[in-house]
Amino acid sequence: MRILFLVFIFSTSVSSRADEGMWLPNLISTMNIDDMQSKGLSLSADDIYNVNKSSLKDAVVALSWGSCTGEIISKEGLLLTNHHCADDLIQFHSTTEKDYLKNGFWAMNKSEELANENLTASILVRIENVTERVFSKINDSNTEDDRRKKIRAVANEISNEISDTSRYTSRLRSFYGGNEFYLFIYETFLDVRLVGAPPSSIGKFGGDTDNWMWPRHTGDFTLLRIYADTNNKPAKYSKENVPYKPKYHFKIQLDGVENNDFTMVYGFPGSTDRYLTSFGVSQALKLKNKTIIDIRSKKLEIMKEGMDKNRETYLKYATKYSSVSNYWKYYIGQNRGLRKLKVLEKKKNQEKGLKKWIHSGGDIKVEKYKNVLPSIENAYKKNEAILISRTYLNEAIFRGPEILYFSYSMQREIKKAIESRNTGLLEELDKRAVNYYKNYDESIDEKMLSAMLEMYYYNVPEYQHPSIFKKIKNQPFSRSLDFDYFASQVFKKSIYSSQNKFSKFIKTPSLYKLSSDPAYQIIESIYSYYTNNISQTRKEVRDELSKNNRLFISALKEMNSSSQFYSNANSTLRLSYGNVKDYVPSDAVHYDYYTTVKGIIEKEDSTNEEFVVPKKLIDLYNDKNFGGYADSDGSLRVNFIDNNDITGGNSGSPVLNAYGELVGTAFDGNWEAMSGDIVYEQGLQRCISVDIRYILFIIDKYADAGYLIDEMTIAESRK
């Protein structure tokens, strides 16, 4: 999912629209509230964001610092988010005997809820504008390095001013490319437990086929619970902890939504690039996206082949496969959208208008902005020479065969433990490795190593090849460029290729064996080459873009000073608002604004794992046993769409009606607007959500976990 920046059409005035933009909640009172209320909102700005009394913001949660969003839906810290946001937790707790991915998981009382190491839930306490404080330390003469150092120093100063650091954390974030700065204070909870999740046949119904598509019929939800100490403060997992008592929790509205109803999404969108120039769009189309698609296609092929062999391997790789697949399809869709919607042409027109404005002003304006676009263009030309190599490093090496990054992450700590003769640390590393190998298959990873090295060799320019490829070319027994053979030898000799080998090494460690490990030598060779030969150019590109993008955004705001602007998403709390909306994706095609459980039955295919429907759900459908969650016509809605502006990180965000009541949970965007991270597509862009009534139906009628609904607050009907 994605979002963030006004599309500038220079022949007309620039203005924000109800369906476009991710807005800082502390600025709603001055920037958006009148527009929101004119569109149907029945709340005040204080109801949405307030630091002196409870407000909607107190029920919105960043999971693991913004990887996904969740919302608090009971007085006992019950938390709702997406199934795909928690599938790694579900997978971690699954075994072939207790297959929670396949069968679902439901704690029938709090003692059965499952703890999750490293899962956190952060609730925003307040936002402060600290732009003046930051700019008192920096100026235009600073290098980008100096600028970053001084900003970090301010962040550290502020952090040291927090009185209760055991409870609160601060994060200083830049906005509008570094033209403004805001401080975010959070309370972060460390004990978050798994409460309930439907089987993947409900939570991921449609799989990769339906991903990013509409119509959808996916029950993409999971229930968690926040725990605190007896003083309601954050604490590490303990049996003594108790359910968190929130300042605010969302009421559940069972009326549903109708076309054109006002809705808003409150969450933590991850990253957008709405201010991307034509040079960046062009490079994404020509090089970056295609390279990522090619690499991920091969990774998916290898994982799928291994996963199809047995259920145990499937469980190990289900979450990894989904993670790779999600943005593999995203980049395919983004390229399609960028071309079909002529985004490159729109960006070029935007820049023509900006040039005209720059040179129509006085000398001060010309002097300040005249080199901005040429400098950005020059930076992208520099970047083009190293982009393929850098992308292969990230996608094929660090995120490719797991043995490489695991060896890299372990090497320094093992060496330190050996040199200091710290047996306790060695034992700790051995224990840490257990979780890694729990979800590891040696045969899949060996094939992955062979394939990624081969793709690297044939796609990265030869003059940018690290020394490891000379070794592959000079293999004995006429094995030159035999990547399968090379990978087999690596796995035969590496201490990292299995848990048994790793544990055996830890018991009898050797610095020589550690430094000569073939898996580590591969990643060390490739990363060292990048560090010594490419990273400096990358730094120059990054600094040049940082400075000139900041000026570019400043120029746009100055040129359109009467307009309301929003900044790119950066995993901070934002609010978007719009309306439930059907749409016309192409000629003679019309998509309605909701789907029903009937569509699940129509898609059912027992021979395709993506479209298997549990027998109990079929029985409930046939019996029309929908409880009180159906429409007046007897149909049970599953998903609905609106034109709220979202992106990755918004997954799991609450979708609220005009009264701030929960009507759904956001989980995806639509295929026709996959360029939405770069340009919001008016008329096409849609947020896909699970209807809250379908969620309650699954909890109540399918899972027989009605006690969870009993702790929720059901709002009075407004019909």
- Catalytic residue ranges: 84, 220, 651
Q: What sign for the dihedral angle of Cα 183, 187, 191, 195? A: negative
Nearest partner of 236 among 169, 180, 166, 286, judged by Cα: 166
Give the whole-angstrom CA distance, residue 573 versus residue 266. Answer: 7
Give the whole-angstrom CA distance, residue 484 versus residue 507. Answer: 30
Give the whole-angstrom CA distance, residue 452 versus residue 468. Answer: 13
Please compute Rg for the chain using Cα positions: 26
Residue pair 75/584 in contact by the 8 Å Cβ criterion = no
Residue 700 CA to its chain's centroid (Å): 29
Give the whole-angstrom CA distance, residue 652 versus residue 119. Answer: 15
Nearest partner of 271 among 689, 574, 687, 17, judged by Cα: 574
The strand pairing partners of 197, in sequence order, are 105
User: Which residues, in sequence order, are CB contacts of 80 under 8 Å at separation 6+?
Assistant: 70, 71, 73, 221, 222, 223, 224, 652, 654, 662, 665, 695
Within 560-687, where are the H helices?
A: 597-603, 615-622
User: Cα torsion for 646, 650, 655, 659, to the nearest 10°?
Assistant: -90
Alpha carbon distance, N-terminus to C-terminus of the chain: 32
Would you call the peptide bond into 25 cis, given omega within 30 degrees of 0 as the criterion? no
Q: What sign for the dihedral angle of Cα 218, 655, 274, 360? A: positive
Residue 676 CA to its chain's centroid (Å): 15
SS3 of residue 205 by DSSP? coil
Nearest partner of 403 among 508, 335, 495, 305, judged by Cα: 495
